[in-house]
Amino acid sequence: MQNFTRRALVKGGTALGAASALSGPALLEWAKAWAQAAPWKPEKGAKLSMLRWKYFVQAEDDAFVKLIQAYTQATGVQVDISRESYEDVQPKASVAANTGTGPDLFWGLYSLPHLFPQKCLDVTDVADYLGKQHGGWVDSAVKYGKSGNKWIAVPICYSGALINYRLEASKKAGFSKFPTKTDEFLEYAKAMKAQGTPGGFALGHASGDGNTWVHWALWTHNGQVVDANDKVTINSPETVKALEFCKTLYGHMIPGTASWNDASNNKAFLAKEIHWTNNGISIYVAAQNSAKDVAEDMDHAYFPVGPAGKPTELHLMYPILAMTYTKFPQACKSLMAFMLASENFNPWIQSAKGYLTHCLNEFDKNPVWTADPKTTPYRDVAKRSLTAGGLGSVGEKAATAIADFVLLDMFANYCTGREDAKGAIAIAERQLRRIYR
Amino acid sequence: MAIALDQSRTKREYRDVNAWTRLKANSNWLGFWFMLPAAAFLILFLAYPLGLGVWLSFTDARLGREGVFVGIENYDFMWDDTVFWLSVFNTLLYTGVASIIKFAVGLYLALLLNENLPFKAIIRAIVLIPFIVPTVLSAIAFWWLYDPQFSIISWSLKKMGLITQNIDFLGDVWNARWSVIFANIWRGVPFIAITLLAGLQTVSPSLYEAATIDGATTWQRFRHITYPLLTPIIAVVMTFSVLFTFTDFQLIWVMTRGGPVNATHLMATFSYQRAIMSGYLGEGAAISTAMIPFLLAAIMVSWFGLQRRKWQQGGDND
Per-residue confidence (pLDDT) for residue B299, from 0 to 100: 82
Distance from C-alpha of A107 to C-alpha of A318, rounded to nearest angstrom? 7
A223 and A126 in a common domain: no
A143 and A193 in a common domain: no
Q: How far is B139 from chain A (nearest CA, A)?
A: 14
Asked if A265 contacts A274 with a C-beta cutoff of 8 angstroms, the reply is yes
CA of B126: how far to CAs of A393, B48, B105, in Å? Answer: 57, 40, 16
A88 and A228 in a common domain: no
- Residue A280 belongs to some domain of the structure: yes
Contact assignment for B261 to A409 by CB distance below 8 Å: yes
Using CA coordinates, name the residue in chain A closest to B171.
A259
Contact assignment for A258 to B63 by CB distance below 8 Å: no
Distance from C-alpha of A267 to C-alpha of A261, rounded to nearest angstrom? 11
Nearest to A95 among B64, B258, B278 (CB): B64
Q: For position A412, which CATH number holds?
A: 3.40.190.10
Per-residue confidence (pLDDT) for residue A10, from 0 to 100: 39
A421 and A288 in a common domain: yes
Which one, of A98, A164, A152, lies nearest residue A125 by Cα?
A152
Q: How far is B260 from chain A (nearest CA, A)?
A: 5
Dihedral, CA of residue B89, residue B95, residue B100 and residue B103, to nearest 10: 180
Per-residue confidence (pLDDT) for residue A222, from 0 to 100: 95
Segments in chain A below pLDDT 50: 1-20
- The HSE-up count of residue A257 (CA atoms within 13 Å, CB side) is 33
Contact assignment for B259 to A255 by CB distance below 8 Å: no
Given CB atoms, is B85 within the 8 Å cutoff of chain A? no
Contact assignment for B259 to A412 by CB distance below 8 Å: yes
Distance from C-alpha of A222 to C-alpha of A236, rounded to nearest angstrom? 10
Identify the domain containing residue A37 by its residue range. Answer: 22-158+317-365
Per-residue confidence (pLDDT) for residue A300, from 0 to 100: 95
Q: Which of A15-19, B134-138, B273-277 has the highest mean pLDDT?
A: B134-138
Q: How many domains does chain A have?
A: 2
Interface test with B, best of A85, A94, A115, A205 (most B CBs within 10 A): A205
- Residue A281 belongs to some domain of the structure: yes
Interface test with A, best of B65, B146, B149, B270 (most A CBs within 10 A): B149
Residues 6+ apart with CB under 8 A from A413: A419, A423, A424, A427, B261
Given CB atoms, is B51 within the 8 Å cutoff of chain A? no
Per-residue confidence (pLDDT) for residue B17, from 0 to 100: 67
Nearest to A416 among B146, B260, B274 (CB): B260
Which one, of A154, A140, A118, lies nearest residue A319 by Cα?
A154
pLDDT in tens, B285-312: 999 999 999 999 888 877 776 665 555 5
The CB density around residue A415, as the number of other CB atoms within 10 Å, is: 25
A325 and A308 in a common domain: no
Asked if A202 contacts A415 with a C-beta cutoff of 8 angstroms, the reply is no
* Mean pLDDT value across chain A: 89
Q: How far is A232 from chain B (nearest CA, A)?
A: 18
A215 and A285 in a common domain: yes
Per-residue confidence (pLDDT) for residue A284, from 0 to 100: 93
Nearest to A434 among B77, B148, B259 (CB): B77
Q: How far is A373 from chain B (nearest CA, A)?
A: 30
At residue B275 the predicted structure's pLDDT band, cuts being 50, 70 and 90, is confident
Given CB atoms, is A271 within the 8 Å cutoff of chain B? yes
Using CA coordinates, name the residue in chain A closest to B270.
A404
Q: What is the average pLDDT across B35-62?
A: 91
Give yes or no for residue B259 having a pLDDT over 60: yes
Q: Is B131 exposed, middle or buried (0-12, 13-18, 19+ CB in 10 A)?
A: middle
- Residue A138 belongs to some domain of the structure: yes
- Residue A399 belongs to some domain of the structure: no
* Mean pLDDT value across chain B: 85
Helix axes A342-351, A329-339, angle to 10 degrees: 60
* Interface subset of B 19-48, CB within 8 angstroms of A: none
Nearest to A273 among B149, B171, B261 (CB): B149
A154 and A238 in a common domain: no
Contact assignment for A259 to B176 by CB distance below 8 Å: yes
Given CB atoms, is A102 within the 8 Å cutoff of chain B? no
Distance from C-alpha of B60 to C-alpha of B68, rounded to nearest angstrom? 6
CATH class of B81-312: mainly alpha
Contact assignment for A204 to B147 by CB distance below 8 Å: no
A140 and A154 in a common domain: yes
**Degrees (nearest 5) of the Cα angle A276, A277, A281?**
110
Asked if A345 contacts A45 with a C-beta cutoff of 8 angstroms, the reply is no
Given CB atoms, is A98 within the 8 Å cutoff of chain B? yes
- The HSE-up count of residue A213 (CA atoms within 13 Å, CB side) is 31
A182 and A236 in a common domain: yes
A350 and A309 in a common domain: no
Residues 6+ apart with CB under 8 A from B175: B167, B168, B169
Which one, of B53, B58, B62, lies nearest residue B74 by Cα?
B58
A322 and A214 in a common domain: no
Identify the H or E element spanning A50: strand A47-53
Which one, of A361, A343, A382, lies nearest residue A135 by Cα?
A361
Contact assignment for A98 to B256 by CB distance below 8 Å: no
At residue B6 the predicted structure's pLDDT band, cuts being 50, 70 and 90, is low
Contact assignment for A257 to B148 by CB distance below 8 Å: yes
Asked if B265 contacts B284 with a C-beta cutoff of 8 angstroms, the reply is no
**Degrees (nearest 5) of the Cα angle B243, B246, B249?**
115
Please report residues of A whose CB lies closer than 8 A to that of B252: none
- The HSE-up count of residue B256 (CA atoms within 13 Å, CB side) is 34
Asked if A164 contacts A385 with a C-beta cutoff of 8 angstroms, the reply is no
Show me where the domains of chain B are located: 81-312
Q: Is B162 exposed, middle or buried (0-12, 13-18, 19+ CB in 10 A)?
A: exposed
Give yes or no for residue B167 having a pLDDT over 60: yes
The β-bridge partners of B59 are B69
The β-bridge partners of A157 are A318, A358
Given CB atoms, is B140 within the 8 Å cutoff of chain A? no
- Residue A137 belongs to some domain of the structure: yes
pLDDT in tens, B90-134: 999 999 999 999 999 999 999 988 888 888 888 888 888 888 889
pTM attached to this predicted model? 0.81
- Residue A378 belongs to some domain of the structure: no
**Residue A186 identity (one-letter amino acid):** L
Q: Which of A89-98, A309-318, B22-31, B158-167 has the highest mean pLDDT?
A: A309-318
Please report residues of B whose CB lies closer than 8 A to that of A205: 256-259
A354 and A263 in a common domain: no
Which of these three, A340, A365, A390, is where a domain ends? A365
